[in-house]
Chains A and B, each alone.
Chain A
Amino acid sequence: MTVDPLTLAVVSGGVVAIAEEMGWALRRTSFSEAVREGEDCSASVFDADGEMIGAGNYAPGHLGTSPTAVAGVLEAYPRTEMRPGDAFLVNDPTMNSGHFPDIFSVAPVFYGDEIVGFTVVTAHHVDVGGAAPGSQAIIGIVDIHQEGIRILPVKYFSEGRPIRQVLDLIAANVRIPDQVVGDLRGQFNANMVGAAKICELIDRFGPETYRAATAEALRRSNEAMREHIATVPSGRYEFIDHIDDFGPDTEPIRMQLAITVGDGRIVADYTGSSSVTRSGVNSYLAFTTAYTLHAVLSVVAPRLPLNSGTMRPVEVTAPAHCFFNARYPSPTGGRAIVARYLVDGVQGALAQAVPDQVAASSSQLANSTIGGVDLEAERPWVYYDLTFGSTGARPNKDGCDGLVSGFNTGNIPIEIHEAKWPVRIDRFGFIPDSAGPGTYRGGLAVRRDVRNLADLARLTNLHDRHVYPPWGLFGGGGGSLGRIVLNPDRADETDLHSKSIVDIGPDDVISFRTCGSGGYGDPFRRDPDAVLGDVAEGWVTVEGARRDYGVVIEGDRVNEAATAALRGMR
């Protein structure tokens, strides 16, 4: 059956709109601030064969792994046993976005008696139990069962009704059951919103046209993706980077990536990388694939819709038990810091092929959690912090200061954090001289000082790039290193390891400092007026201007003669 191009546009646009609608429904009814304020969630629509046909603008790690979650549920529950109003949960890293806190809710869509597709709704739950509040501890974690409750595909709604036993079992194993159960219900609700909308779409066009249109959309996306790949020079592009370590006194983790482009395909291979670690830092293949894919798409075909057709020409491989292909029971709670490496690594490799379409390395996020026990209320509390830095410089523009990339999340407002948890944010702002210098400079590092107001609390850090700075491209310098400082500017000031677990007391201040981002091009070729502007705004100091850019600033002016002389000396 052929579909006219306009019906095709309406149906394929329609499923994307439905995915977005599911995301709105989830965020509006969500109970955790990670989903609601941080938008750490996603939604997608699948066809009856388990191919992703539409996705909203949400967390790339979730979306890229949603097909695996659908496949996992279908393996565990035959379609013949599914009924309208059923929904299934899964959070095992072999089938989800790489760690337990991301719980996927998969539901079949029935049109009449027939399954015409699936909807997937994913939320990052702030805590799913395990050794540390937030379930993202790294040190002392040797197997995945220390990281909280493991959910292999399990039915949790049956014909529209919650299965109490399942929800009770989950509630009993997490620190903040109200939030987790509230959000699971929100996820189910979003699944059902999606199912109803898909049925409406099918009502308008009929099941056959709907099926033919979604198949044709996949075919066209696939073809368009292959055409985009054809614009990238064929070849093999390698890139090597290092994750600092996986805990105090541990070795760096080597990332070795080779991207091969040719014959309308892109293969990203992580052979040569380190082996899995005995810690919470590991990357399961589903997660490695999701972020590699996200990065490849953003470089090669940033405007194509995300669906199985676009994804198919990209293959991601890594040897078993390599760091990037961890297997059960390797723990994985701290995998958030790996995402940045995957995205940057792809850019670093493809910079050799398409230098005008990539950016230098971006800041690592600080994703620490602070948790304690509210003795009066007899319940634990978990403060979930997300501090984002900035993005790397681009071929013709500076990086962005204070911008998330790789995640579609945002900073949680200070006034929300302070109202909810016993903390006070003393300081939140940019760090001067932290951007990687370049013809175009990287974005600035961000500092966030959090004061603990509770009696006793445990800080679980999840950060990186304290050792290996974000790199620049084509002569651009690297960004500043990240740090976590306990009690800055006090007698007991201490640098904390990026993955440490520390008990803190009342009035202790933790200063999270992200790294800066890399620059692009030779900094000595940067327009001196741009450097002057940065100095006026306090992004770069007068000394930094001289040292990093060879620009001599006197008062509010550039000393052009001295600048020319200094730049000429090199």
Chain B
Amino acid sequence: MAEQRYVCAIDTGGTFTDCVVLDDRGRLTQTKSHSTPAELSRGVFDAMSGAAEALGRDLRDLLAATSHLIVGSTIGTNAVLQQRGARVGMIVTRGHRDVVAIMRGHGRNAGRPVAEALAVHLTDKPTPIVARSRIIEVDERVDCFGDVVVGLDREQVAAAAERLVAAGIEAIAVCFLWSFLNDRHERKAKEIVQAAAPGLFVTTSSEVASRWGEYERWMAAVINASLGGLTARFVEGIEDQLGDLDYAGQFLLMTCSGGCVPAPEAKRLPVLLLDSGPVGGITGTRHLARMLGHPNVIATDMGGTSFDVGLVRGFEPVRSGDRTIGQLKFYVPNIDVRSIGSGGGSIAWVDENRNLHVGPRSVGADPGPACYGRGGTTPSVTDAHVVLGGISPDFFLGGELPLDAAAAESALAGIAEPLGMDTPTAAAGVLRITEALMADLLRRVTIEKGFDPSDFVLYSYGGAGGLHAAAFARELGIGTVVVPLAEAASVWSAFGIAASDVLHVYEAAELMIAPIDAAAVEVNVKALEQRARRQLEAEGVAPADITLRRFAAIRYGLQVHELTVPLADGWIGDREIAAAVEAFERAYEDRYGAGSGYSEAGFEFVSVSVEAVGTINKPALASDAVGVGEPARTDRSRSKHWPELDGFVDTPVFRRDDLGPGRTITGPAIVELATTTVAVGPGDVCRQDALGNLVLEVARDGA
């Protein structure tokens, strides 16, 4: 076998496909190439060819030396948003045909901002994702104890499958009530459909999500079904080409739960692949956070059109059991990444009451911000930075794109006039509002879950974030900001994908009311672990690389929101159950405040779950020696506006060559890199560490 020393990671985005290659000494090679939306798999190979070239090899050569190829993508997300996936048919429990159309009665507000909620005549539910004519009811019923009350009518299932196929559907979701407690009917129905329609993509609700809540579980199955064909084409396209190139390493796909899975699993559960690219940013953050000793991190990614936020807490990404895309809510284990439409291209506008707003609409790539000089006249966040000296017209993207400062100025003047302000004040207002929106999202993401943002370190990646990070960190009482690996920050998701491990999540929902039967918990956990181990071994993971982690979801009696806490390894007895309950009570009070617990209500175990990790061995990142903490020096400077200093101040500008490990910069200062610009506020101190990260110590408010 050839020497195997590369981990190769790809992030297929809407515009760019990024590739990161990590060698066995922890060195990174990164490339960016254009995505190929018509045939996404081609972009994957273009990106890898670019990386091979950078390493002075050809593609076949690179692949021969690669042990793991991991691909993340946003494939599917747009298909869901625009309802462009496969035509799905459903076979459902008699009497419950309209569950996915009713959407629990509140689809209008799902995933929408508060401000829109009142406007009843202006807001809508989405078009039902499965037309009613493609949903067929069959006789069957399981009750809340998992007992069959109406047997499955097999002939009706076969007839339904035939009717749906005749109507031209391309995938079928079998969705029955209570299937997560007893999946016999769903499994049987799937077999019948497969026999009646060989080759058709068929999925059941219980294999996608093993949880309470018919709407969200069924929606997960529908989305899974709708993405089956699309995903298979993408994955098989890559597999075929890898075969042609005699690739002998592992081919894995990144999932939204923050790990990766082999191709067959990805094809069976394509819903797992939704938005796996952005999730890569969080796994990269976790990897770096462990090296830097930051247990709690808010990971932020500000690009041209959006601002994405995720959390790492206790060195683990904060996960969620559900997601909402385009007002459709569904169950899928995922790392919770939230977005708002705040990016460099977000449009600044004034409403009829002379209030200033920013976003959520964006100028897009063409014509882009006014300062791009491509004929745009709409003021954007980037234009405000140009007016205020945050971005240098001569050094945008390292000087690749010269900017038109006059165009930015006149675009901003267009909103300054109705506001009765001068142009710089209006531009400062645009940034202030942008930062307030960002801070608001961070607040939601942390506080909604019961976390205090000031317990976190903030990581800022993505090209447009560095100018804002310190400002909104200050607003939230966050003391430290990290711009990861400086220049690698622009391919950060791909880096995170390279840093991920194989991960499967198994859940068994069985409601148990205190006193908890430890033996029953033991049986459930063992069964899940057996499944997990079998799966990983079948995927070729060596036993020594397998880690199993067990969790219990516990809640107070009568409550529905559970908290997930670790369950002890080994045999589970009453003592281990008591320890889990204690951990639950601690976690509850930690989140909702001392005294908020209510043990008189009793406890319920909602489910047990197992996270099965197949570790992909990776070297530590290469680091430089750290010099003494001497100040960095520069001769460059320019006039930049600082709201803290009430106006423009001549500000030193540092570039890559001015920095070095251990060097410090005291604000006000600007650090200009090819991929991002970082504002170091008055009183803030910026230091480059041994790995190349920029670390900002943020001065307290008013200090």
**A and B from one assembly?**
yes
Asked if B556 CB lies within 8 Å of chain A CBs, one says yes
The segment from A18-26, A64-72, A95-103, A313-321 found at the interface with B is A18-26
Among B108, B118, B132, the most chain A Cβ lie within 10 Å of the Cβ of: B118
The segment from B333-341, B497-505, B593-601 found at the interface with A is B593-601
The segment from B184-192, B440-448, B615-623 found at the interface with A is B440-448
B511 and A413 contact, CB distance less than 8 A: no
Closest beta carbon of chain B to A99's beta carbon, Å: 21
Which residue in chain B gives the minimum CB-CB distance to A365?
A: B105
Asked if A229 CB lies within 8 Å of chain B CBs, one says no
Considering the complex, which residues of chain B in the window 96-140 have a beta carbon less than 8 Å from any beta carbon of chain A? 96-99, 101-109, 114-122, 124-125, 131-133
Asked if A404 CB lies within 8 Å of chain B CBs, one says yes
**B561 to chain A: which residues have CB within 8 Å?**
27-29, 36
**B121 to chain A: which residues have CB within 8 Å?**
298-299, 302, 357-359, 394-395
CA distance A303 to B117 in the complex (A): 9
Asked if A57 CB lies within 8 Å of chain B CBs, one says yes
Asked if A497 CB lies within 8 Å of chain B CBs, one says no
CA distance A42 to B119 in the complex (A): 18
Closest beta carbon of chain B to A327's beta carbon, Å: 30
CA distance A391 to B106 in the complex (A): 12
**B124 to chain A: which residues have CB within 8 Å?**
397, 400
Asked if B560 CB lies within 8 Å of chain A CBs, one says yes
A17 and B440 contact, CB distance less than 8 A: yes
B96 and A429 contact, CB distance less than 8 A: yes
A303 and B558 contact, CB distance less than 8 A: no
Closest beta carbon of chain B to A424's beta carbon, Å: 7
A298 and B119 contact, CB distance less than 8 A: yes
A415 and B214 contact, CB distance less than 8 A: yes
B125 and A30 contact, CB distance less than 8 A: no
The segment from B367-375, B428-436, B663-671 found at the interface with A is B428-436
Asked if B212 CB lies within 8 Å of chain A CBs, one says yes
A538 and B132 contact, CB distance less than 8 A: yes
Asked if B353 CB lies within 8 Å of chain A CBs, one says yes
Asked if B213 CB lies within 8 Å of chain A CBs, one says yes
**A21 to chain B: which residues have CB within 8 Å?**
443, 447-448
Binary contact readout B431-461 vs A (1 if CB under 8 angstroms, 0 otherwise): 0110010001001100110100000000000
Which residue in chain A gives the minimum CB-CB distance to B602?
A: A178
B102 and A416 contact, CB distance less than 8 A: no
A419 and B212 contact, CB distance less than 8 A: yes
CA distance A400 to B141 in the complex (A): 29
Asked if B627 CB lies within 8 Å of chain A CBs, one says no
**A20 to chain B: which residues have CB within 8 Å?**
114, 444
**A303 to chain B: which residues have CB within 8 Å?**
115-116, 118-119
A32 and B558 contact, CB distance less than 8 A: yes
- Given the known interface contacts A6-B432, A178-B600, A537-B132, the answer about A402 and B215 at a Cβ–Cβ threshold of 8 Å is no
Asked if B571 CB lies within 8 Å of chain A CBs, one says no
**B61 to chain A: which residues have CB within 8 Å?**
none
Q: How large is the interface on A (under 10, 10 to 19, 20 to 34, 35 or more residues)?
A: 35 or more
A6 and B596 contact, CB distance less than 8 A: no
Asked if A156 CB lies within 8 Å of chain B CBs, one says no
A430 and B101 contact, CB distance less than 8 A: yes
**B440 to chain A: which residues have CB within 8 Å?**
13, 17
Considering the complex, which residues of chain B in the window 60-104 have a beta carbon less than 8 Å from any beta carbon of chain A? 94-99, 101-104
Which residue in chain B gives the minimum CB-CB distance to A533?
A: B131
Asked if B522 CB lies within 8 Å of chain A CBs, one says no
In-complex Cβ contact of A405 among B120, B144, B355, B598 (8 A): B120
A416 and B212 contact, CB distance less than 8 A: yes
Considering the complex, which residues of chain A in the window 355-407 have a beta carbon less than 8 Å from any beta carbon of chain B? 357-359, 388, 391, 394-395, 397, 400-405
Asked if B701 CB lies within 8 Å of chain A CBs, one says yes
A402 and B98 contact, CB distance less than 8 A: yes
In-complex Cβ contact of B556 among A25, A31, A419, A427 (8 A): A31
Binary contact readout B290-311 vs A (1 if CB under 8 angstroms, 0 otherwise): 0000000000000000000000
CA distance A185 to B116 in the complex (A): 31
Which residue in chain A gives the minimum CB-CB distance to B108?
A: A403
Asked if B559 CB lies within 8 Å of chain A CBs, one says yes
- Given the known interface contacts A9-B433, A537-B131, A537-B132, the answer about A415 and B101 at a Cβ–Cβ threshold of 8 Å is no
Asked if B177 CB lies within 8 Å of chain A CBs, one says yes
Asked if B143 CB lies within 8 Å of chain A CBs, one says yes
Closest beta carbon of chain B to A2's beta carbon, Å: 14
- Given the known interface contacts A28-B450, A204-B701, A359-B121, the answer about A227 and B353 at a Cβ–Cβ threshold of 8 Å is yes
**B133 to chain A: which residues have CB within 8 Å?**
536-538
Asked if B592 CB lies within 8 Å of chain A CBs, one says yes
B178 and A415 contact, CB distance less than 8 A: yes
Asked if B546 CB lies within 8 Å of chain A CBs, one says no
In-complex Cβ contact of B559 among A13, A29, A204, A294 (8 A): A29
CA distance A441 to B219 in the complex (A): 27
Which residue in chain A gives the minimum CB-CB distance to B509?
A: A415
CA distance A5 to B355 in the complex (A): 9
CA distance A427 to B95 in the complex (A): 4
Binary contact readout B342-381 vs A (1 if CB under 8 angstroms, 0 otherwise): 0000000000010110000000000000000000000000
CA distance A537 to B556 in the complex (A): 43
Asked if A426 CB lies within 8 Å of chain B CBs, one says yes
Which residue in chain B gives the minimum CB-CB distance to A304?
A: B118
CA distance A16 to B433 in the complex (A): 15
- Given the known interface contacts A29-B559, A31-B559, the answer about A430 and B215 at a Cβ–Cβ threshold of 8 Å is no
- Given the known interface contacts A189-B592, A400-B125, the answer about A415 and B96 at a Cβ–Cβ threshold of 8 Å is no
A24 and B448 contact, CB distance less than 8 A: yes
CA distance A30 to B213 in the complex (A): 18
A419 and B144 contact, CB distance less than 8 A: yes
A302 and B118 contact, CB distance less than 8 A: yes
Closest beta carbon of chain B to A57's beta carbon, Å: 4
**A419 to chain B: which residues have CB within 8 Å?**
144, 212, 511
B356 and A5 contact, CB distance less than 8 A: yes
In-complex Cβ contact of B106 among A10, A401, A404, A428 (8 A): A404
B120 and A429 contact, CB distance less than 8 A: no
In-complex Cβ contact of B212 among A27, A359, A415 (8 A): A415
CA distance A426 to B115 in the complex (A): 37
CA distance A395 to B121 in the complex (A): 9
**B101 to chain A: which residues have CB within 8 Å?**
401-402, 430
**A274 to chain B: which residues have CB within 8 Å?**
none
- Given the known interface contacts A36-B561, A189-B596, A424-B143, the answer about A410 and B105 at a Cβ–Cβ threshold of 8 Å is yes
A429 and B450 contact, CB distance less than 8 A: no
Asked if A152 CB lies within 8 Å of chain B CBs, one says no
**B99 to chain A: which residues have CB within 8 Å?**
428-429
**B131 to chain A: which residues have CB within 8 Å?**
536-537
Asked if A179 CB lies within 8 Å of chain B CBs, one says yes
CA distance A446 to B125 in the complex (A): 16
**B102 to chain A: which residues have CB within 8 Å?**
401-402, 411, 428-430, 446
Binary contact readout A160-186 vs B (1 if CB under 8 angstroms, 0 otherwise): 100000000000000000110010011
Closest beta carbon of chain B to A24's beta carbon, Å: 5
Task: For the complex of A and B, list the 9 residue pairs with the smallest distance between their C-beta atoms, beginning with the closest.
Answer: A427-B95, A302-B119, A429-B98, A402-B102, A410-B106, A57-B114, A31-B558, A418-B144, A388-B105
Question: What 19 additional pairs, Cβ within 8 angstroms, besides A395-B121, A410-B106?
Answer: A6-B433, A17-B444, A25-B450, A31-B601, A57-B109, A178-B601, A186-B596, A193-B593, A298-B118, A298-B119, A298-B121, A402-B125, A408-B109, A411-B102, A411-B104, A415-B178, A416-B212, A449-B95, A538-B132
30 pairs from A and B in contact (CB 8 Å cutoff): A9-B436, A17-B443, A21-B448, A25-B450, A28-B592, A30-B559, A31-B598, A31-B601, A36-B560, A57-B109, A178-B600, A179-B558, A224-B353, A298-B119, A298-B121, A302-B121, A359-B121, A400-B124, A402-B103, A402-B107, A418-B144, A419-B212, A419-B511, A424-B141, A424-B143, A425-B95, A428-B98, A430-B102, A446-B98, A537-B133
- Give A contacts to B, CB under 8 Å: 5-6, 9-10, 13, 16-17, 20-21, 24-25, 27-33, 36-37, 56-57, 160, 178-179, 182, 185-186, 189, 192-193, 204, 220, 224, 227, 294, 297-299, 302-303, 305-306, 357-359, 388, 391, 394-395, 397, 400-405, 408-411, 413-416, 418-419, 424-430, 446, 449, 536-539
